[in-house]
Chains A and B, each alone.
Chain A
Amino acid sequence: MSAARNGYRDSTNRPVVAVTGMGIVTSLGQGRADNWSALTSGRSGIHAIERFPTEGLRTTIGGTVDFVTAEPLCAPVLSERLADLAIGEAVEQSQAGRVGDFPGPLFLAVPPVEMEWPQRQTLARAVNGDGPPDYSTLVEAARGGGYESLYRLFAFAGVADILADRYGTKGAPVSLSTACASGATAIQLGVEAIRRGECDAALCAASDGSVHAEALIRFSLLSALSTRNDPPEKAAKPFSKDRDGFVMAEGAAALVLESLDHAMARGATILGVIEGCGEKADSFHRTRSSPDGHAIYGAMQAAIDDAGVSADEVDYVNAHGTGTPENDKMEHLGMETVFGERHAQVPISSNKSMIGHTLTAAGAIEAVFSLMTMAEGRLPPTINYDTPDPAIPLDVVPNTARDAAVRRTLSNSFGFGGQNVCLVLAAEPA
């Protein structure tokens, strides 16, 4: 053991970052236990959308979280409720700080919210104008006053403001978006802050409660969504030959990160370690990866490098695995490039086959599942894998969970806008 690697410091003498608390909510349920049980029994959380009428839409299914109430039901309120449930569970498990006094900053991935149609309609109705309403009508209504709470709802800083107050996090909360990589970015920001010595602990959370009609239609217009509406639970088919898009979904996850010495000093239970974070942006296209895959395998390799390990030491990959024709093909290319001859033997499974694509929250949700995979020694499956794609010869843990000893997991997140973030998580400090 080198002098630098003393257990609390990694191979480049940075503080080791431990996970001491985790919380999760998805369409499969609330909390770690329910989610893990559903996930490893191969259950799907995808169902017909009932939240709004789907008549006339090409896609009518989703992984909405319907057992959590939000009033009014809109993206910022539901996203805040979901984040609150996940953070509450993580903080309780961690026991870091005191209730309402978390000893570090908040990094929160949230969907970009904006006023929704019910609010626009309410404003338009508040004014008795001549002729059809337009933005001047809405502004006239706003001038009547009394809408400060509506402003705070749709200000980008709004959700984090509520959560920072409730949990007593320190400093300015950072709200962020790197599209479908957002959850991983939230974790990365926490890791970096701890490594810089700015804080001993960080609360990293990601939430998405934004399945409403307009959001669904926007993704649908980009031809990104599965249209295999019946039966809903069979729609998400990552790595299958007949995959036809992702399924929009909701959820949230939170992780309490601490420097290992801080966690050990207070006798906390170490749930795992974030060993490495890797990033590589793609400059090819707004929604597609560079055909040579360099940004995807660049991010995967960067995470492995940052962890100070080699690809041979990675036992399992938690896939981005959206089930779009493009993503899964490129992710396979990334596997081939990073793992070489081993690529078809390293198990890789997609949680999204069961929970759908939780968008902003996905990177954090899948990091929690990755840590549980290692702790439980059981690989969650890729369900709906009935027609393998011969162009993607991977061990996707087809259809049923499998016991396996996993010491180290690579978790992939690839976003629209070319933002790719990968994490290397380990069961225990090296």
Chain B
Amino acid sequence: MSEERRPVLITGVGLVSALAEGLEAHWAALDVAGGAAPPVDRESYSPYPIHPLVEVDFDQQIPKRGDQRQMEPWQRIGTYAAGMALDSAGIKGQTEILSSTDMIVAAGGGERDIAVDSAVLGEIVNRDEFGTILNERLSNDLRPTLFLAQLPNLLAGNISIVHKVTGSSRTFMGEEMAGVDAVRAAYARVASGQSEICLVGGSFNAARHDLILLFELGGYLWESDWCPVWERTDRGGGLVPGSMGAFLVLESADHAARRGKPGLARLDGVASERTTRGPGAAGNAAAGQLNALRTALTGAPLAVLSGASGVEPATSEERTFVTQLAKDHDASVRAAGTAIGHGFEAQFPAIVGLATLVASQRSLYPPRDGSGVELPAASPIGQILATCWGHWRGEGMALVTALDAG
């Protein structure tokens, strides 16, 4: 490992979810007796519940309608959240800083034209040879610009165009693991001096028939009335997709100080791993990650924000891990997915964003869990451990420290 590590501050967070828009509104929605319950759309994708995005005025961050028209919703959500993060960091419109701001985006695939797909499917379903008709239909029916609204790297492209972030641009793919590695790479680049300031995050639109299909192929979706994540484990498990956009601005403490920005919290480490999910494998990986972060634990009261998806058996394994962790460190646990649903590529950036919120509040919001995993928390919270086990692959962890807690 590298010898020198510079402190890395989280100086901006842009978070929009089913629950709220912005950190303040998230806190207002989370800090309620009985815990937050995000809006659920039970009908549109029945039998699968989803969490639709809170109503957003996209003009606020994407002023040109022409730009908005060039994006499918997943790109609009991400470009919007990226703008919020830049606002939060105080660099929105600061051309000089933005031209050297690095960017790592975690992206999934773009949205298909459901009407075109359905029409084509109707034409080809009973044909053994459908190549020629497919050529004709797709050539005539696909919007030329739809391709660009689908390409994963065009979320970053749109952020460059709309917000002028142009230092560098990378897009990671691979569901939750992409989000974890994006944050890890951004952290490592800033900590090592390869970057001074980096915008990192992702977005996810849950309101998509094509993704509902994909996830149901794997059998990952929850299909009963909504309930908190930990309560799903003895009922077969399953995830509830949640629309969200989550971006962070990570910055070297020196760079932030030079422009007089105090920062919201400090990021003290990020770890990623991929196990093949044999029994106990993810738990062992997480234990190793925790061990690597141990020297950064200050002993200040700890909270655990888990990214558990609800999918089994990973969620049961993660429950065992975080329950033991809570016991060992006298910590309190919350499943972020209960509050905002599951956002795949965006999940880990969103959890780190929520951890930043908890760090800045020095307080953990009330539990919403009938399973006994989540308990009321002591205050003031000094550090937050964020975990993110993917629904299929990828194990991630981050440690966020409140600025006045060491």
Contact = CB atoms under 8 A, between A and B. Distances in A.
Nearest to B394: A172
A143 B48 CA distance: 11
Interface in B190-246: 192, 194, 209-210, 212-219
B287 interface: no
A176 B171 contact: yes
Interface string B388-406: 0010111110000000000
A108 B293 CA distance: 27
A48 interface: no
Interface string A398-421: 000000000000000001111100
Interface in B14-50: none
A213 B138 contact: yes
A65 B139 CA distance: 24
Nearest to A110: B173
Contacts of B296: none
A292 interface: no
A146 to B, nearest CB: 9
Contacts of B363: none
Given A174-B181, A197-B2, A286 B148 contact: yes
Nearest to B167: A281
Given A281-B166, A281-B167, A418-B160, A177 B173 contact: yes
B185 A139 contact: no
A135 to B, nearest CB: 4
Interface stretch (B125-133, B259-267, B311-319): B125-133
Contact of B138 (A121, A214, A287): A214
B174 interface: yes
A133 B118 contact: yes
B209 A56 contact: no
Contacts of B147: 218-219, 221-222
Interface string A102-117: 0000000010111101
A151 B112 CA distance: 17
A198 B392 contact: no
A133 to B, nearest CB: 5
B194 A213 contact: no
Given A174-B172, A416-B148, A56 B213 contact: no
B155 to A, nearest CB: 9
Contacts of A197: 1-3, 192
Contacts of A196: 2, 188-189, 192, 194
- Size bracket, chain B contacts: 35 or more
Contacts of B124: 117, 121
Interface string B112-150: 101001101110110001111011101100111111101
A58 B185 CA distance: 42
Nearest to A165: B276
Interface stretch (A34-42, A82-90, A93-101, A156-164): A156-164
B177 interface: yes
Given A55-B135, A179-B151, A145 B166 contact: no
Interface string A55-72: 111100000000000000
Nearest to B71: A286
B153 A156 contact: no
A134 B213 CA distance: 11
B173 A142 contact: no
Contacts of A281: 103, 156, 160, 165-169
Given A174-B181, A192-B194, A418-B169, A286 B157 contact: yes
B193 to A, nearest CB: 9
B174 A156 contact: yes
Given A156-B108, A192-B189, A282 B218 contact: no
A274 to B, nearest CB: 15
A245 B144 CA distance: 16
A142 B213 contact: yes
Nearest to A222: B144
A285 B145 CA distance: 12
B212 A133 contact: no
Given A139-B213, A283-B160, A284-B161, A121 B130 contact: yes
Contacts of B154: 286, 416-417
A154 B211 CA distance: 11
B362 interface: no
B135 A217 contact: yes
B220 to A, nearest CB: 8
A135 B164 contact: no
B109 A112 contact: yes
A192 B193 CA distance: 11
Contact of A55 (B112, B132, B173): B132
B394 to A, nearest CB: 6
B161 A418 contact: yes
Contacts of A120: 117, 121
B364 interface: no
B120 to A, nearest CB: 8
A125 B167 CA distance: 49
B121 A121 contact: yes
Contacts of B393: 155, 157, 161
Q: Considering residues A197, A218, A417, which has the most beta carbons from chain B within 10 angstroms of its beta carbon? A: A417
A189 interface: yes
A160 B157 contact: no
Contacts of B347: none
A160 B272 CA distance: 15
B170 A185 contact: yes
A186 to B, nearest CB: 10
A114 B109 contact: yes
Interface in A139-195: 139, 142-143, 145, 147-148, 150-152, 154-157, 160-161, 164-165, 171-179, 185, 189, 192-193, 195
A171 B167 contact: no
B397 to A, nearest CB: 12
A254 to B, nearest CB: 18
B151 A112 contact: yes
Nearest to B131: A53
Contact of B194 (A124, A195, A282): A195
B140 to A, nearest CB: 10
Nearest to A137: B121
Contacts of A114: 109, 112, 210
B180 interface: yes
Given A56-B136, A161-B274, A286-B145, 14 more contacts: A120-B121, A125-B125, A132-B121, A135-B118, A151-B218, A156-B109, A156-B178, A157-B174, A197-B2, A214-B142, A221-B142, A221-B144, A286-B161, A418-B160
13 contacts: A55-B132, A117-B120, A142-B216, A142-B217, A150-B217, A156-B173, A172-B395, A176-B173, A196-B188, A198-B188, A217-B135, A281-B165, A281-B167
Interface of A: 52-58, 110, 112-115, 117, 120-121, 124-125, 132-139, 142-143, 145, 147-148, 150-152, 154-157, 160-161, 164-165, 171-179, 185, 189, 192-193, 195-198, 213-214, 217-223, 279-287, 295, 415-419
Q: Lowest 5 CB-CB distances: which A-B pairs, in order?
A: A417-B157, A53-B131, A151-B218, A157-B174, A132-B122
Interface of B: 1-3, 70, 103, 107-110, 112, 114, 117-118, 120-122, 124-125, 129-132, 134-136, 138-139, 142-148, 150-154, 156-158, 160-161, 164-175, 177-178, 180-181, 185, 188-189, 192, 194, 209-210, 212-219, 272-274, 276, 390, 392-396
